[in-house]
Amino acid sequence: MGSQIKPHIQLGPIDLNTPLRFGDSLPEAVDVVVIGGGIIGITSALYLVEEGFSVAIVEKGRMACEQSSRNWGWIRQHGRDEDELPIMMEANRLWGELDAKVKGRTGFKREGILYLASSEAQMEKRLAWVDIAKQHQLDTRVLTKAQVADRIDQGGTSYAHQWVGATTTVNDARAEPWLAVPALAELAQSKGITIRENCAARAFDFAAGTLRGVITESGTIKCDQVVLAAGAWSSLFLQRHGISIPQLSVRSSVSATAPMKEVFTGNAADEKLAFRRREDGGYTISVSNLHDLYLGPDAFRHFFKWLPVATEHWRDTKLRISAPKGFPDQWRVPRKWAEDEVSPFERLRVLEPQPNHQKTEELRDEFAKRFPQLGKPELKHTWAGMIDTMPDLVPIVDRVPQLEGVILATGMSGHGFGIGPGFGRIIAKIVAGKPAGHDMHRFRFSRFSDDSKMRPGPAI
């Protein structure tokens, strides 16, 4: 315990070039092992300690090295699935508490997110969610074209792209992903939580149907319960134990511009472009709702479960014939391996897809249309992440019925960073055998096998 943390300033997504920061010795036994060092795993561990449990986190690569440091950084209630919204409202509050505990090092700011509309038809879609916001007593506002112009400087009246209005929830927030999760990991370590990077979990250790621990590449940790929060790898880990879930992962690309004149201080998205001001004076920009799906065994196996959402969002998803070597749903990745055998998680420590460079010029053009006074931005860094998602676009957060003692938290569907603390607290309650404090029926493990009608959530 108590390994020395190396000083390090992270300026972008975390990968294997990021120095090892958490190298605690593995304990012989704890109450709970958390598999996965992203926002879900870290916040679950923090709230588990508050419930009185001893906890160890094992991460195959680096803390937050995958989607938890590659997302937009938005902490949004606006536009959420209605069943997720109460949890997200709690998460919004918890982010403020956590940021205070690490003395502001998450980059947390409450400045709202503008959901812009480029047409009256798009504005009608934005307005449809306002009624849900009112039911939950959110401070959600509708902005006119003039009010949008007051907030965003588009260089006068001759710009090519005009917004007709927007909706926004006032206390929505953002944080810097690559700063936030490591800061929270340091907080977790200070509370006695064991954290070990570069240490892949290989398998659950069961005997006669009873969980005995987690087998890692560095040894076995005895435990009574496990939280599997492995993001895009969760499905593959479960397949090793004969459990199938219809989880897939899609690639999303993001860019960071060089520092440039400030035309907007906050966060915004329309139907084609998402952008936010960064701490370094540039902007994080991305093409809204454009994803790449690599076809593999799981994609074909779960085709019919995915058909409803695929039909609705087919324009936003580009199909790729096969995933790169070692990816979770790549054709040759093994679904079974021995406990003393090198696992797929060790062969590919960080799921780091190449960004979609074909869209880079389109991204620059879209930005320049909106801000002609700035022109095409210089992109100093472009990266991509794999978003773990479910057919109804909401996660599974539940016990795994066939594996007693295992709690699954996966398929966050691009919502995980913002909602992380909310689900983290719920997971701690589930482990403790206490009421979750929220209606968890929508997020149950069995919903893809109990013949219930699927209800896809919003993709924004």
Sheet holding 74-75, edge to edge: 74-75, 173-174, 109-110
Residues sharing a CB contact under 8 Å with residue 96, sequence separation 6 or more, in sequence order: 108, 110, 173
- Where does 66-200 show beta strands of DSSP type E? 74-75, 109-110, 113-117, 140-144, 165-169, 173-174, 194-196
Pairwise CA distance, residues 120 & 398, whole Å: 40
Tokens 């003039």 — which residue? 146
As averages over each run of 10 residues, the pLDDT of the chain (460 residues) reads 45 90 98 98 98 98 96 94 97 98 96 95 94 96 95 74 94 94 98 98 96 98 98 98 95 93 93 90 85 89 82 72 92 96 97 88 92 94 94 96 97 94 98 98 95 80
Determine the Cα–Cα distance for residues 432 and 251; give it in Å rounded to an integer.
Answer: 35
Residue 166 near residue 114, CB atoms below 8 Å:
yes
**Residue 18 included in any domain:** no
**pLDDT score of 157:** 56
Which pLDDT score is estimated for 313? 63
Q: Which residues have C-beta within 8 Å of that of residue 316, sequence separation ≥ 6?
A: 289, 290, 291, 459
Model pLDDT, residue 161: 77
**Burial, 384: exposed, middle or buried (Cβ in 10 Å; 0-12, 13-18, 19+)?**
buried
Is 409 inside any structural domain?
A: yes
CA distance 233 to 155: 45
Q: Classify the phi-psi angles of 233: left when phi > 0, otherwise alpha if psi is within -120 to 50, otherwise beta.
A: alpha
Identify the pLDDT of residue 222. Answer: 98
pLDDT digits (tens, 9 = 90+) for 237-272: 999 999 999 999 999 999 999 999 999 999 999 999
Task: Evaluate whether residue 4 is within a structural domain.
Answer: no
Q: In this structure, is the dihedral angle defined by the CA atoms of residues 233, 410, 179 and 459, taken in order, positive or negative?
A: positive
CB contact set of 311 (below 8 Å; sequence gap of 6+) = none
Q: What pLDDT, on the 0 to 100 scale, is given for residue 318? A: 80
In a domain, 352, yes or no: yes
pLDDT tens digits for range 380-425: 999 999 999 999 999 999 999 999 999 999 999 988 999 999 999 9
Q: Which DSSP letter does residue 405 get?
A: T
In a domain, 74, yes or no: yes
Q: Look at residue 8 in the predicted model and tell me its pLDDT.
A: 47
Tokens of 217: 């590449």
Contact (CB, 8 A) for 194 and 28: no
pLDDT score, position 4: 39
Residue 178 lies in a domain: yes
The count of domains in the chain is 1
Position 9 scores a pLDDT of 55
Residue 165: beta bridge partners? 117, 144
pTM of the model: 0.94
Check residue 50 and give left, alpha or beta (phi > 0: left; psi -120 to 50: alpha).
alpha
- Residue 75's domain comprises 32-448
Ranges assigned E (strand) in 21-146: 32-35, 55-58, 74-75, 109-110, 113-117, 140-144
Alpha-carbon span 82 to 443, nearest angstrom: 12
pLDDT at position 7, please?
43
Q: Is residue 5 in a domain?
A: no
Both tokens assigned to 331:
């054709």
CATH number at residue 131: 3.50.50.60
Q: Where are the beta strands (DSSP E) in 87-162?
A: 109-110, 113-117, 140-144
CA end-to-end span of the chain, whole Å? 41
* Residue 241 zone, left/alpha/beta (φ > 0; ψ -120 to 50; rest): alpha
User: Is 3 part of any domain?
Assistant: no
